[in-house]
Amino acid sequence: MPTLHSGELTRITLDLSPRSSEVIIGEGILAQLPQWLSEQARVGKRGVLVTDSNVDPLYGDQVIESLQQQGMTLTRIVIPAGEASKNMVQITDICRLMLQAELDRHSFLIALGGGVVGDAAGFAAAIFQRGIPVVQIPTTVVAQVDSSVGGKTGVNTPEGKNLIGAFHQPDLVFADVSTLHTLPDREYNEGFGEIIKHAAIRDASLLDLVEEIGTERKKLTELITRNVAIKAAVVEEDEHEISGTRALLNFGHTIGHGIEAAAGYGKMLHGEAISLGLVAAIRLSQKYSTLTEQEAKRLINTLQACSLPTQLNKAINSETILQTLRLDKKFVDGQIRFVLLKSLGNAFVSNEVTLDDIETAVDDLYSPP
Ligand code: NAD
Ligand code: GLY
């Protein structure tokens, strides 16, 4: 995973089979997109830009016009903003609009937006004409530190999160950190759920940086780069989540996804639900492993300092959470593979956590941590 810093840009290459995936990170780099796209052998002259109703008025024209100046033709598809758009009906609509625009298997797709656009449009790219190249332009913290990198795409169903999807690696991820300045505070802060997850499973020193900057919008390039480096290293080791390394990225997500689905998609932001899932997984790590109270408190305090929830609202029913949990992809033959921490920065997959433990951990979330 070579990381190169040149001028204002950081370039991280994920060396994956059969080809690599490039991540470019920098401040104010959106205008340089055409030259980076022209280096992508699989990206031709005809494509589609998929974005959402909040991001389109902010960045849609800039991206389309800069690419048109390079002789590219782009069709624009705008989906409604929010988690509720991550569904199969939306995928069918995107694919049909692409067919009506006479796009074909030589076309490419650009996903411009947060994790919802990235996951949904990425999935459309994975299945349109059996797969076309995708370029991710992430514009949220969640998308820049996590979802745009690594090729997981998909949609939700009423039964649970991300239960239908595909691995489809982006040819290019182009993260302009200055786009994060237009994010509302709540949407900015939710990204710290994934950042604190990365620190917890792989890099305790990242927590120092988060404690230092909190949610002040500074040192953004360093923050995003360090997170992408963690994610890229994990994905390179275990792209298709087979050996167990990539499963570590699911820390906090088993219970977090159950809460997100039970609340109703879009009611609670992804990172907010993950924050609650992290608290439960931290407490289970003390019970089943060697995580100390001091380490647990440090993680929970950092979540709180980032204005993330650490106590579950009683309006979200625990039985509904457990129902969706039972359908989680991480259950194998009725047994859950649950990610725990041995210590800060050191995670492992445990087979010891039972559904009863999970039920207790969910119930405990209704009290202050
Ligand atoms: P999101 O895409 O819904 O974005 C949050 C909100 O911010 C939306 O209203 C959006 O319109 C708005 N927005 C986006 N960029 C903006 C900008 N620059 N300025 C102003 N507003 C902007 O949500 P998200 O938190 O980015 O992503 C959450 C999704 O990502 C979930 O569905 C989650 O499952 C998925 N996810 C996937 C992976 C993966 O590996 N594929 C990893 C983590 C999360
Ligand atoms: N966000 C979890 C993963 O990419 O594996």
User: What pLDDT does residue 329 have?
Assistant: 63
pLDDT at 233: 97
Report residue 281 as tokens: 């997984």
Residue nearest to atom 17 of ligand 1 (CA): 183
In ligand 1, the atom with minimum distance to the C-alpha of 156 is: 32
Q: What are phi and psi of 322, to 5 degrees?
A: -65, -35
Residue nearest to atom 2 of ligand 2 (CA): 249
DSSP code of residue 80? P
Segments in the chain below pLDDT 70: 5-7, 329-334
Residues 359 and 318 sit within 8 Å (Cβ to Cβ): yes
DSSP assignment of 242-270, as one string?
Answer: -SSTGGGGGTTHHHHHHHHHHH-BTTB-H
Ligand nearest 189 Cα, by number?
1
Cis previous bond, 18, omega within 30: yes
CATH of the structural domain 3-182, one choice from 3.30.830.10, 3.40.50.1970, 3.65.10.10, 3.30.70.370 = 3.40.50.1970
In this structure, what token pair is assigned to residue 120? 């949904």
Ligand 1: residue whose CA is nearest its atom 25: 142
- Give the model's pLDDT for residue 336: 84
Pocket test for ligand 1, best of 119, 190, 220, 253 (most atoms within 8 A of CB): 119
Which pair of tokens denotes residue 76? 């624009």
The verdict on the CB of residue 150 being under 6 Å from ligand 2 is yes
- pLDDT for 42: 87
Q: Please give the Cα distance from 258 to 269 (Å, whole number).
A: 13
d(CA 89, CA 92): 5
Q: How many CB atoms lie within 10 A of CB 131?
A: 12
Instruction: Give domain 188-364's CATH architecture.
Output: Up-down Bundle (1.20)
Domain boundaries, the chain: 3-182, 188-364
